[in-house]
Homo-oligomer: A and B are copies of this chain.
Amino acid sequence: MKLFARESNSASVLAGDDAAALIMDVVPQIMNYLRDEMRLNRLPSLSVPQFRTLVFLYRHPNASLSQVADYIGLKLPSMSKMVNALVVRKLLIRRASAEDRRCIRLRLSPNGLEGLMQSRHRTETQLARILVALTPEQQAGIREALQILRPLFVRRPESAP
């Protein structure tokens, strides 16, 4: 199963010139940037997972805790804690499901929607400042690459205990 230009016993990841090496190198670097950037957002300062949670609930109102946890990639207790913090901050509304009272239904509060919009705007502005250095063709190439990568990195299945 040969995938890259170099043989697998070469130093490709260490040399940094194939897809695997680039992913290991560039993704953590961008992640650091995003974390720092989000933390500097005033008004509702959101962590990256918190921001992603709000975006998910914007797209999927009335989702359950399990559904959000699965998408974000957190275990239920961690997600419960994070959601609770967002509820306390009045960014989310949490209510019991009518059909199955074990489930909760989550949705953005008006406050949460406004905070999300502000955070999005600021993030987009910041990223735009960086991406402005690129040609439209380069930007299109990046969009295309990310769209290809998006469906590939799904959450690992639970390791059977």
Residue ID in chain B nearest A146 by CB atoms: B22
Number of copies: 2
Chain A: interface residue total (CB-CB under 8 A):
68
Interface mask (A25-55 → B, CB under 8 Å = 1, otherwise 0): 1111111111011000000000011011001
A1 partner residues in chain B, CB cutoff 8 A: 128, 132
A120 partner residues in chain B, CB cutoff 8 A: 11, 13-14
A98 adjacent to chain B (CB < 8 Å): no
Question: Sorted from nearest, which 8 A-B pairs have the closest CB atoms?
Answer: A145-B145, A22-B146, A20-B127, A13-B120, A32-B73, A33-B153, A20-B124, A142-B145
Task: List chain A positions with a Cβ less than 8 A from chain B.
Answer: 1, 3-4, 8-9, 11-14, 16-34, 36-37, 48-49, 51-52, 55, 58-59, 73, 116, 120-121, 123-125, 127-128, 130-134, 138-139, 141-150, 152-156
